[in-house]
Amino acid sequence: MTEIDKVTAAPESPEAFSRRIAELSESLPKRLRQCAEHIALNLDRIAVSTVAELAEGAGVPPSALMRFCQIMGFSGFSEMQRLFRDAYSGARPDYATRLANLRDGGGGAPGALLAEFVDAGRASLERLAQQVNENTLETAVSMLSGARMIHLAGFRRAYPVAAYLAYAFDRMGVAAQLHSGVGHMDQARTFLPDDALLAITFAPYSGETVDLVKGALGRGVPVVALTDGPASPVALPGACILPVEEVDFGAFRSLSATLALAMSLSVAVGARRGAV
């Protein structure tokens, strides 16, 4: 019987819902597990789908999906759906509307520009979350955590990111050096054993950054690069590449995703050093 399950209260937030699925899915029989898997991968569709649609997606009859809802602690599908509908409306009251209004200001109006930049930033962040490879990220953190000194390279539009990293590392007591790019220094003296290089560069790539990366690799210094894809000139053998595809608006690139990735890196490194 499922009586034991029904005693447990229904999840009250999408997060709790996810957790509950993770707990249960081990012990579920075939059809119910199919439901759990499909639902877990399509949480965002619950609010706008019918039982029949979700059931078809999961490859089960509607009645199986109903049983799933009840095992999750809800009285039925409608109750489960209400959770997601409420969460949806609550989370972004009328953000889309507001954005549309700002845009309507028209061509040159600052508000319209802002709407575009906000949208580009948000799109970049969402894309980053979907495309990031956790293993690569983990590798990058390991490489940087082991370094005695972290060199930071980023010029032109990448410079603000490098500058932010310098600030963050400084705050956490991690030794880091922000390279200025003016006056090519003697790389033999710059890169010491146990150093690492964190480079940030996007098309059009700056020559200084590429040179620094090559120099570091030539000396066996580990390199982590935030760049815009595997076609980048810094995507050389031995370098750990973290791709970030920013959404552009006009000639100007949102840095939201790059900064979010940079912040995660720096905090993860700081935490691993035990400095926070």
Partner DNA sequence: CCGTGAATAGAATATTTATTCCATTTTTCG
Partner DNA sequence: CGAAAAATGGAATAAATATTCTATTCACGG
Tell me which residue of 217, 214, 208, 213 sits closest to 225, measured CA to CA: 213
With CB under 5 to 8 Å by kind, the binding choice for 190 among its own copies, DNA, none is: none
**Binding of residue 6 to DNA (CB under 7 A):** no
- Burial class of residue 114 (count of CB atoms within 10 Å of its CB; 0-12, 13-18, 19+): middle
Residue 63 binds what, of DNA, its own copies, none (CB under 5 to 8 Å, by partner type)?
A: DNA
Q: Name residue 243's beta-bridge partners.
A: 227
79 sits near DNA (criterion: CB under 7 A): yes
Q: For residue 134, with 0-12 CB atoms within 10 Å meaning exposed, 13-18 middle and 19 or more buried, which class applies?
A: exposed
Q: Are 225 and 242 in contact (CB under 8 A)?
A: yes
Tell me: does residue 21 bind DNA (CB under 7 A).
no
Asked whether position 14 contacts its own copies by CB under 8 A, the answer is: yes
d(CA 274, CA 267): 10
| Residues between 96 and 155 with contacts to its own copies, criterion CB under 8 A | 96-100, 102, 104-105, 108-111, 113-118, 121-122, 125-126, 128-130, 132, 134, 137-138, 140-141
- Residue for token pair 């890196």: 265
Nearest approach in angstroms of CB 30 to DNA is 4
Identified binder of DNA from the candidate list 4, 7, 26, 30, rule CB under 7 A: 30
For DNA, the binding residues (CB under 7 A) are 1-2, 29-32, 50-52, 60-64, 66-67, 69-70, 75-79, 81
